[in-house]
Structure 1
Amino acid sequence: MFSKPVREEYPAYYHNYIQLVPEEDVLIHLGEQIGKTSAFFLGLTDAQADFRYAEGKWSIKEVIGHLTETERIMGYRALRIARGDLTSLAGYDDEAYVKEGQFTTRTMIDLVEELKAVRMSTLALLKGLPEGAPKRKGYANNGEVSANAIAYIIAGHELHHLKIIEERYLG
């Protein structure tokens, strides 16, 4: 039902995210990924969670909030597209969302629990799609994208941010 998306299934700006996802069942990957990511985040100290590697960059708490909100938005897009809705879905300003989210005031446990809840919701949605629905295409953020590609974008987006955390926050 889901398969590594071909180039025609998504806008070019998502290519790097999709390429980060291994060649395996994306639903299995998403399920395993959330366990590893949760354990990783919960293993950080408070100082690490609040650290910013440069002026104007997000803290790890803010990255978690960003991951959660982006997945929530992407899940909504996948639902609309999988149902055949051709309405062009607007983009969003992730910087403004992070600022308004005030994630630095929350505990790591709270942030990770919300991230896990959103992932469980995403998985339930994707697993429940009828045959053929993942291949449907729609419009989001001024580009044509399939519901199938969105599943890979969610996984790759998380991998992208984990790589940045390893290199720039903890490296």
Structure 2
Amino acid sequence: MSCQNNKSINPDSEMLINSIPRSEYNTNMAYYTAKALPGNSLEEMLSNTTTEMIAFIGAIPEDKIDYAYGPFKWTVGEVLQHIISYEEIMLEVALLNAGVISEKKHTVYYNQNTTIAGANGKSKSDLLAKFNSVRQKTENAFNSLTDEQQKRMGILDGNMTSVRVIAFCISGHQTHHFNVIRERYLD
């Protein structure tokens, strides 16, 4: 099974995160931002991340969705659900920090176990549909933010970060877990 990086992503695209001042995020955020997909704009980076996710899920054999590589380890489906749930949570944080919303919905009970809730019994198509729904909201939200809102600083996991850096964390978090799936779950 080949879940390699999508070849349609322009390899000449700039790593946009390199143009963002380090004062907008700290070393803890750099783990995921360094794994974000390339793009010459935030919109292109998110689009590349979307393309990658659709191709990645499509390449996973249906019989691997419920596979876990060991006892007490997440299944492939749970890892994919975690990626999707993390994105919902990060989008909420971004919108809270940007001042677009004022009420928490997803971040109130966030922990590793809640991010995999509901994964059992979901097919690839179920997970892909949920991903597409969440990603559409993410892309629409970030595309609607002004430059000032994207640069606004707020708290993410106890660290000061700009709203736009959260989009890079979403992309890098996805890449991180794709690498884990490739290394530990798939032959």
What is the TM-score with the length of structure 2 in the denominator? 0.79
Match of 1:97 in 2: 115
Query: In structure 1, what is the equivalent of residue 30 of structure 2?
Result: 15
1:45-64 to 2 correspondences below 5 Å: 45-64=61-80
Q: CA deviation at 1:65?
A: 0.8
Alpha-carbon distance in structure 2 between the residues aligned to 1:70 and 1:112: 15
Describe how 1:5-154 pairs up with structure 2 within 5 A: 5-24=20-39, 25-83=41-99, 92-98=110-116, 101-154=117-170
CA RMSD of aligned residues (A): 2.4
Residue identity in the other structure for 1:10: Y
User: SS at 2:147's partner residue?
Assistant: coil
Structure with more relative contact order (C-alpha pairs < 8 Å, separation 6 or more): 1
| CA deviation after TM superposition for structure 1 residue 23, in Å | 4.4
Shift of 1:103: 0.6
Counterpart secondary structure, 1:139: strand
Q: Distance in 2 between matches of 1:128 and 1:53?
A: 41
Give the gaps of 5 or more residues in structure 1.
none
Q: Of 147, 152, 156, which aligns to 2:172?
A: 156
- Secondary structure of the corresponding residue to residue 155 of structure 2: strand
Structure 1 runs of 4+ with >3 Å offset? 84-87
In structure 2, list runs of 5 or more residues that go unmatched.
Answer: 1-15
SS in 2 for 1:104: coil
Q: Sequence identity, in percent?
A: 26
Q: Is the 8 A contact 1:91 1:140 kept in 2?
A: no
Q: Once the two structures are superposed, what CA deviation does each residue of 1:51-97 show, in whole Å capped at 9, x if it has no partner?
A: 1122221111111111111101101111111128899x768212243
The structure carrying a bigger helix percent of its residues is 1
Secondary structure of the residue that 2:110 maps to in structure 1? coil
The amino acid that maps onto 1:61 is G
